[in-house]
Chains A and B, each alone.
Chain A
Amino acid sequence: MIGPLALPRARSAEPSSGHPALEDAALVALVLEHDTSALEQLYARYGKPCYGLSRRILGDEQLAQDVVQEVFLTLWRDASRYDPSRGAFATWLLSMTHHKAVDVVRREENLRKRRLAAEAVEATASPQPEPDDAAWTGLRRDRVRAALARLPEPQREALGLAYYGGYTQREIAGLTGTPLGTVKTRMLAGMRKLRGVLETALDEGGER
């Protein structure tokens, strides 16, 4: 199982008050008791990646904010849905963000047409990260990009259309003119290969 891609426990941009040194699971436990500062701490850690991901999928800043808001309200309402034994909190939160953003993009079909504009926003308007974050983020992004780059183009395309585009397997088959069965096979092969490459990279890097 891979799991070490969780974000650092305490990031430099976090507020000085609250619970800056607590691990994610401990903060989630406090959120279960409706500790608002714990929720704000988790927002300080993960608000940016959640917003970045939803904005990438939706291509609309207002809808992306709505998704992030709904993600953190869901966390507040029912933090017990996170089970630490099943993976890192970051994975769970980003999965939820992805799921909600994809729900929205499917409701708002015309959003997909605006995605190119959104990618332009991504390229030009992303803020410069804090220095400490930059090192970590750069390492993490390089690793994932390298892993994706090692996939055969048809596999990378299928995974990209699904994850970043919010398309279903059947829609991808239609978009690429590929039989549905082939799309499913490519996605399975691509994900297995991605898992293997990421595990190898982590073993070589000797990181958490």
Chain B
Amino acid sequence: MSIEQHDEWSELVVGRSLDALEPGDDARLSAHLAGCSDCRALLSEMRQVASSMAYDVADAEPPAELINRIRDALPQHALGSGPLVPVLADQRRRRASRSARVAHRSRPLLAAAAAVVVAVLVSSGVFVARADHDRDQTRSALQAETAVIGNLQHGSSYSVSLRSGGPAAGFAAVNGSTVDLVATGLDRNNAGTMYVLWAATGRGATMTAVRGFSVTTAGQTVVTATLPAGMTKPTIFGVTEQEGTTLPRTPGTVILGSSSAA
């Protein structure tokens, strides 16, 4: 290879390291890289140089909500790519740890919550055949819902039914400082908005934003959150859809809520 040819490939390698190639050049370089170890080594090196330019950009704190969004999306992605058991084992481990803090059982509440879940699943057509992807996601949601019901076997836990003016329905399950929202019929949230779960300790008490979440797939939604510091035994819950990505101070229109919140 002549020096001129070598430099031409080096220019394309640099372009690739900066994600700055036109599609045609990119394809040409890919074909060349398959047989040129020198250019592959140069690309690896130039990528490190390019990445160093990232350090000229100030770190920015992502909203706290983002890690929750990532957590929520994990099982769906893991199921889509195959490895089901480790993810569910991890979920069970975390939930078992949480359950271990509670000592007693409450069968009436468990039965009530189970009835709500059955109603939720039937009304949303869980048992209707779906495409594989949907089935995987449904299976994931069902597993999560089953875990929530399992937690309700413990004495200090309780659930609150949530209803809407439309097809959305669900319940909030409280176990100590943790609340699980199980819902169906929530549409995918609009771009630039998020759903927000609110809680209050009783009629007339201030509704407090517990956490935001996104719905990326129509069907079942299971969201786990920690109650705000100082809040104990909330009995009023609501779900709103609000603009932005930071938790608002006041709720908008309640889409789904307990009878006192809706």
Seen from chain A, the residues whose Cβ lies within 8 Å of a Cβ on chain B are: 1-3, 5, 33-36, 39-40, 43, 47-49, 51-53, 55-56, 61-62, 65, 68-69, 72-73, 76-78, 86-88, 90-91, 94-95, 97-99, 102, 122, 125-127, 129, 133, 137, 140-141, 143-145, 147-148, 159, 162-164, 166-170, 172, 184-185, 187-188, 191, 194-195, 198
Contact = CB atoms under 8 A, between A and B. Distances in A.
Interface string B143-160: 000000000000000000
25 contacts: A3-B48, A33-B86, A47-B66, A48-B60, A51-B60, A62-B191, A62-B192, A62-B245, A69-B66, A73-B73, A73-B74, A91-B47, A95-B47, A98-B54, A126-B59, A144-B56, A159-B53, A162-B20, A166-B19, A167-B20, A172-B20, A188-B11, A194-B52, A195-B49, A198-B49
Contacts of A143: 55
B60 A73 contact: no
A142 to B, nearest CB: 10
Interface stretch (B31-39, B77-85, B100-108): B77-85
B5 to A, nearest CB: 14
A169 B51 contact: no
Interface residues of chain B: helix, strand, loop or mixed (majority): helix
Most buried by B among A69, A97, A162, A191: A191
Contacts, number: 183
Contacts of A163: 18, 20, 50, 53
Given A2-B49, A191-B17, A145 B62 contact: no
B45 A195 contact: yes
Interface residues of B, number: 51
